[in-house]
Structure formats: C-alpha cells, structure tokens
C-alpha cells in the first residue's frame, strides 16, 4: 500500500490517504484537498505530493 499524510503536504490536518498505487493516492488527494481545504490542486502541487507518498509495509503480508 501507498500512504500519504495530509500534514506532510503542509496542511494542519490528520487525514491519512491510503491506496494501492500512487495514481490512486493523487486522485484522493485532489478530492480531499478541494473538498476539505478548498484549494485547487495545481500540477506543481500534484508533483510535490507525489514526492511525499510513502510505501507502507504491514506485518500481515505473506
């Protein structure tokens, strides 16, 4: 899973986005930032966010 914390993107927000791929995370970020923070996500912002996405390892993987 990929994971992105909204606070890592500079927002005072504890929302955490998880998705299977970076592309899915980006779509969720765009939705979340526009709905909750009322900010239009620019191409530059999307590129920055891409750099903040982390790999999440879980213990229950085979």
Beta strand 16-19 with 2-5 is antiparallel
Instruction: Please give the sequence-ordered ranges of beta strands (E in DSSP) within the chain, or none if there are none.
Output: 2-5, 16-19, 54-55
Nearer to Zn ion, 18 or 62 (CB): 18
Residue from 4, 6, 29, 49 in contact with Zn ion (CB under 5 A)? 6
- The reply to whether 11 sits near Zn ion by the rule CB under 5 A is yes
Q: What angle do CA 54, 56, 58 make, to 5 degrees?
A: 170
| Interaction between residue 2 and Zn ion (CB under 5 A) | no
Stretch that binds Zn ion, among 3-11, 17-25, 45-53, 54-62 (CB under 5 A): 3-11
């Amino acid at each position: 899973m990929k994971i992105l914390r909204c606070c890592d993107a500079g927002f005072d927000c504890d929302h955490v986005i998880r998705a299977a791929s970076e592309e899915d995370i980006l779509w969720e970020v765009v939705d979340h930032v526009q709905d909750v923070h009322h900010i239009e996500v620019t191409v530059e912002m999307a590129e920055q966010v891409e750099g903040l996405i982390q790999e999440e390892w879980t213990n229950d993987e085979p």
